[in-house]
Amino acid sequence: MEPIIEIKNLTHIYSPKTPFEHKALDNVDLTIYRGEYLGIIGRTGSGKSTLIQHLNGLMKPSSGQILFEGKDIWGSKAMTHDIRYQVGLVFQYPEYQLFEETVYKDIAYGPRNMKLSEEEVDRRVRQAAKFAGLSDAVLERSPFELSGGQKRRVAIAGVIAMEPKVLILDEPTAGLDPAGAAEILENIEAYRKSNNATIIFVSHSMEDVARITDRLVVISKGTLPYVGTPHEVFSHGEDLDKLGLAVPAMNRVFSRVHAMGVDIDPAVYTVEQAKAAFLEAFRRKERV
Amino acid sequence: MALKDITLGQFFPGNSFIHRLDPRSKIIFTVLFIVIIFLCKDLVSYGLVLASLLVLVGISKVEPKVFVKGMKPVVFIVVCTAILNLFYTDGNVLWSLGFLKITEEGLWKAFFMVLRILMLICSTLLLTYTTSPILLTDGLERLLRPLKKVGFPVHELSMMMSIALRFIPTLIQETDKIINAQKARGADFDSGNLMQKAKALIPILIPLFISSFRRAEELAIAMECRCYHGDEGRTSFRQLRLHGRDWAFMTFTILLLAAVCVLRYFGL
């Protein structure tokens, strides 16, 4: 697979050389590939927000490098400016950033900042609205009279309209009902498929992330103790629990059973997998 | 942007003599101290006042470094005042170059003016550094209570002040967040002419206004849920009481005022 973002020895220190000095990221190395669906999980204050704000140049590393398609994002001024459009970042509760009179104008804010032609802006706004499941009628309404879930989709469309190669979303489903959350996940998946985009999904809830992502990164106290497929990461179930992460209930049960000495796969995190693991374990027992 | 580095009436918790004083005596001190500073005329009174201020800063156990940092915003004013007084005072000329001249009187005047401004800032910093915002507004409310007789809404005013103080850090944080979110959409706040720069602020100001209104509404509902109905019949969890140390501190302040008055009107 082809790398798109490479993080090399990234360290970030807040308020250096003061009594409030705090190391938020400590020598982090990570490679992110084109087209992958990456999950980043960590509890509040683990450094996940700091990490993602480095990926589009909102924060400058205290030391270390971030390469985008092989080039240092702080290498030239043009690169630092351009990276904002290549790596789209959707913050937590993005609906609080809406400001325009109509949904259309708000989505067009990013593309207009890119100084695209009016036709291109129009194409991108309509395309992004389609990905976000917003109808043409909604485009002409004020964003402030929409429902919470719709506002969230407008905000996400505002970032998608820049057609970033990497789309980072910080807790995009927080505070939504299950139906609204599922819809947002579908919208994100649609964008990924059509543009072969890389998606980085940040959350504190493992249950959501494990189900949708190809690869998981666990962040804790500014380091990345576990990186791998959800199956690999969940084989460390008990350790994850110790890091204070909300491990899926199913995983908790299976890692406990495994720790008690039963020959069963401990890395289970969904009901389907639990069923498969059970049957597998029984079969093995019968054979003996 | 380092918005969160702004110190606005910052409070440094502690347990020194100054910290434990009643907020009312500290407010009275600060007001009287400003009067004292402006009554000073000669070297002896300036020395006396400066020495007492330094002693108070010393016993407050707040690091002197913090006071220096708090005085930084007025450096520009101080420098301007010094220059104006230095060059525009008539008297015994010490040095001149073309139309510029420095007089002995100008030198003294500049020195005293700078000292005055710095002492002024330092004494108010002493109040805000050692008094929590809540105690400060409580104290102010109690001190202004007599004004209620003439229909002045003392309680409402102090409640507004507490709420404003409480929300300053929240709003600073919120602004930081919105700035980052719009930057992620390619917002550019640094280039262009004045008009373009002003326009670039709209995407920050509108969301900020909206969230302030939202917060205000939420707070109002939360207050009503707890049966807040203004001043009438409201009792206070923290009862302010003047102790021996407060009387001692106020006596000291009045003695200082008297000393400076004597020095000013009767000389030595």
8 Å CB contact between B41 and B264: yes
Percent of chain B with pLDDT over 70: 96
What are the structure tokens assigned to B169, written together? 């850090």
- The residue of B1, B65, B185 whose CB has the most chain A CBs within 10 angstroms, and thus the best one to mutate to test that interface, is B185
Q: Do A163 and A70 have their domain in common? A: yes
- CA A212 to centroid of chain Cα atoms: 11
- Do A17 and A57 reside in the same domain of the chain? yes
Helices B133-144, B23-39: axis angle to 10 degrees equals: 80
**CA B14 → CA B10, B59, B166, distances in Å?**
13, 11, 20
Query: What residue ranges of chain A have pLDDT lower than 50?
Result: none
Residues A279 and A160 in one domain: no
Q: Is the pLDDT of residue B1 over 60?
A: no
Confidence (pLDDT) at A90:
94
Same domain, A216 and A260: no
Of A85, A97, A162, the CB nearest to B182: A97
Q: What's the Rg (C-alpha) of chain B? A: 24
- Residue A59's closest CA among A49, A46, A72, A44? A49
Enclosing domain of residue A107: 3-245
Residue A288, exposed/middle/buried by CB under 10 A (0-12, 13-18, 19+)? exposed
CA dihedral A228→A234→A235→A236, nearest 10 degrees, is: 90
The CA distance from A8 to A12, in Å, is 12
Q: How far, CA to CA in Å, does B169 sit from each of A24, B49, B124, B172?
A: 21, 34, 20, 5
Lookup result for tokens 């609204």: A180
C-alpha–C-alpha distance, residues B187 and B197, integer Å? 11
Contact between chains at A109 and B203 (C-beta distance less than 8 A): yes
Query: How far from A185 is each of A132, A146, A176, A178, A188, CA to CA, in Å?
Result: 10, 19, 12, 11, 5
**Cα radius of gyration (chain A):** 21
User: Could you tell me if A256 and A237 lie in one domain?
Assistant: no
pLDDT in tens, A8-36: 999 999 888 777 788 899 999 999 999 99
User: Do A61 and A10 contact (CB within 8 A), yes or no?
Assistant: yes
Pairing outcome for strands A166-170 and A215-220: unpaired
Distance of CA A35 to CAs A171, A192, B226, Å?
20, 7, 52
What residue spans define the domains of chain B?
Answer: 7-131+240-266, 147-225
Q: Which of A114-118, B56-60, B67-71 has the lowest mean pLDDT?
A: B67-71
In this structure, are A262 and A217 located in the same domain? Answer: no
Instruction: Examine the domain organization and report whether A256 and A150 are in the same domain.
Output: no
Q: Give backbone dihedrals phi and psi of A201, rounded to 5 degrees, phi first.
A: -110, 115
Which pLDDT does position B2 carry in this prediction? 45
For A104, residues 6+ apart whose C-beta sits below 8 A from its C-beta are A125, A139, A140
Hey, what are A106's tokens?
A: 């708000």
* Inter-residue contact A60 to A74 (CB < 8 Å): yes
- State residue A164's pLDDT score: 94
Residue with tokens 């010393």: B58
Q: Provide ipTM, 2 decimals.
A: 0.86
**Predicted model pTM:** 0.76
The model's pLDDT over B32-46, given as tens digits with 9 standing for 90+, comes to 999 999 998 888 899
In whole angstroms, what is the distance from residue B115 CA to residue B266 CA?
23
One domain for residues A79 and A23: yes
d(CA B45, CA B259): 8
State residue A286's pLDDT score. 82
CB-closest option in B183, B203, B211 to A84:
B183
Per-residue b/e over A44-59, b at no fewer than 16 CB within 10 Å?
eebbbbbbbbbbbbbb
Q: How far is B264 from chain A (nearest CA, A)?
A: 44
DSSP states along chain B: --GGG--SS------SHHHHS-HHHHHHHHHHHHHHHHH--SHHHHHHHHHHHHHHHHHHT--HHHHHHHHGGGHHHHHHHHHHHHHS--SSEEEEETTEEEEHHHHHHHHHHHHHHHHHHHHHHHHHHHS-HHHHHHHHHHHHGGGGGGT--HHHHHHHHHHHHHHHHHHHHHHHHHHHHHHTTT--SSSS-HHHHHHHTHHHHHHHHHHHHHHHHHHHHHHHHTT---STT---SS-----HHHHHHHHHHHHHHHHHHHHHHH--
* Nearest residue of B to residue A114, measured between CA atoms: B186
A109 vs B180, B185, B211: nearest CB:
B185
E-state strands within A87-212: 87-90, 166-170, 198-203
Q: Are A219 and A47 in contact (CB under 8 A)?
A: yes
Residue with the larger pLDDT of the pair B232 and B176: B176
Contacts of A89 in chain B (CB under 8 A): 184
Q: Can you tell me whether residue A22 is helix, strand or coil?
A: strand
Phi and psi (nearest 5°) for A95? -65, -20
Task: Tell me the CATH number at A237.
Answer: 3.40.50.300
How many CB atoms are located within 10 Å of the residue B189 CB?
15
CB–CB contact B181 A94 (8 Å) = yes
**CA quadruple B157, B159, B165, B170: dihedral sign:** negative
Whole-angstrom distance, CA of residue A18 vs CA of residue A199? 36
Q: Tell me the mean pLDDT in the region B149-162.
A: 88
Centroid of chain to Cα B69: 13
Return the residue of A nearest to B182 by Cα.
A97
Residue A144 tokens, joined:
């402030």
Contacts of B210 in chain A (CB under 8 A): 96, 144
Contact A111, A162 (CB under 8 A): yes
Q: Chain B: which residues have CB within 8 Å of chain A?
A: 177-178, 180-188, 202-203, 206-207, 210-211
Residues A182 and A151 grouped into a single domain: yes
What stretch of H or E contains A239? Answer: helix A237-242
Query: In this complex, do A110 and B178 lie within 8 Å of one another by their Cβ atoms?
Result: no
Statement to judge: residues A132 and A94 lie in one domain: yes
| Residues B101-127, mean pLDDT to the nearest whole number | 89
Whether A87 and A192 share a structural domain:
yes
Domain tally, chain A = 2
pLDDT for residue B116: 92
Nearest CA in chain A to B5: A15
User: How many C-beta atoms surround the C-beta of residue B255 within 10 A?
Assistant: 11
Residues from chain A contacting residue B202 (CB–CB below 8 Å): 99
**Is residue B17 scored above 60 in pLDDT?**
yes
A16 shares its domain with A112: yes
Q: What is the pLDDT of residue B9?
A: 56
Mean pLDDT of the region B230-252? 86
Question: What are the residues facing A63 on neighbouring strands?
Answer: A11
Partners of residue B178 in chain A, C-beta under 8 Å: 96-97
Question: Alpha-carbon distance B197 to B199, whole Å?
Answer: 5
pLDDT band per the 50, 70, 90 thresholds, residue B234: confident
CA distance A178 to chain B (A): 25
